[in-house]
Structure 1
Amino acid sequence: MENLPPEALTEIAAYFQALSEPTRLQILNLLRQEEHNVGELAQLCGFTAANISRHLTMLTKHGLVARESRGTSAYYRIADESVYELCDLVCGKIARQLQQAAQKHQVFPPAE
């Protein structure tokens, strides 16, 4: 991020903001396996179609998912596979932190 203008930093922050909501991460995880329409995603996530549509709009705006109309339905798929590399990197970091915390707790015996 060295020498980036403020406008670029604003765009980067918006991209990360798109990834900062658990429902959007759930949607991305579901789309990792196969494309889905809004109704399918709503059912799989346990939310309303309107709620899922709002999240998909945000993900589409930032180029993470692509929309394709087929008849009366719109299907969504991943548009930027590199998002999974980023998510895997973050998940690995969090897993290591949790493992270190668990090891730290094992050093101290439980109070009796």
Structure 2
Amino acid sequence: MKKAATLPKEQLMDGIASFLKALADPTRLRILHALQGGERCVNDLLAELPCSQANVSKHLALLRAAGIVEFRRQGVQIYYRIADPAVFAICGVVCGALERSLDGRREGLKMGKTAFAAGARA
């Protein structure tokens, strides 16, 4: 019984991990950044990204499978857009945490440098 009760939580954790894993790639983050300005076709994205068409298409398929992007067909073109703009809030939180972490590291480096300088004078 207890194992069955934890199954939904495990599925939720797996879903969160899959979603975050889809975001954990610089090319996919660049694609999201490009799509922040509105929907784009693969050719539009190729003009903005240093990638091959096959590479961009592969990353778009992964983002689509994760539910992060959606698409629509118009003739032979496929246009991609963000499925839920909340993904940008997630990216913003990560950017803020990274900035604070880097600030802390810089402060730690300054303190370490000061400590070494004080030791050299002693």
TM-score, normalised to structure 2, is: 0.81
RMSD: 1.7
Q: 2:16 aligns with which of 9, 12, 18?
A: 12
Aligned to 1:98: 102
Aligned to 1:71: 75
Equivalent runs, 1:1-112 vs 2, <5 Å: 4-107=8-111, 108-109=113-114
Identity rate, percent: 34
Partners of 2:100 and 2:10 lie apart in 1 by 32
1:8 and 1:92 map into 2 onto residues whose CA distance is: 25
Per the TM alignment, residue 65 of structure 1 is displaced from its structure 2 partner at its CA by 0.8
Structure 2 stretches lacking a partner, 5+ long? 1-5
1:31 Cα deviation (Å)?
A: 0.5
Deviation at 1:11, TM superposition (A): 1.6
CA distance in 1, matches of 2:11, 2:34: 32
SS class of match (2:99) = helix
Q: Distance in 1 between the 2:70 and 2:49 partners?
A: 19
Q: Pick the structure with more helix per residue.
A: 2
Shift of residue 106 of structure 1? 2.0
Larger Rg: 2
Structure 1 residue matching 2:71: 3-state secondary structure: strand
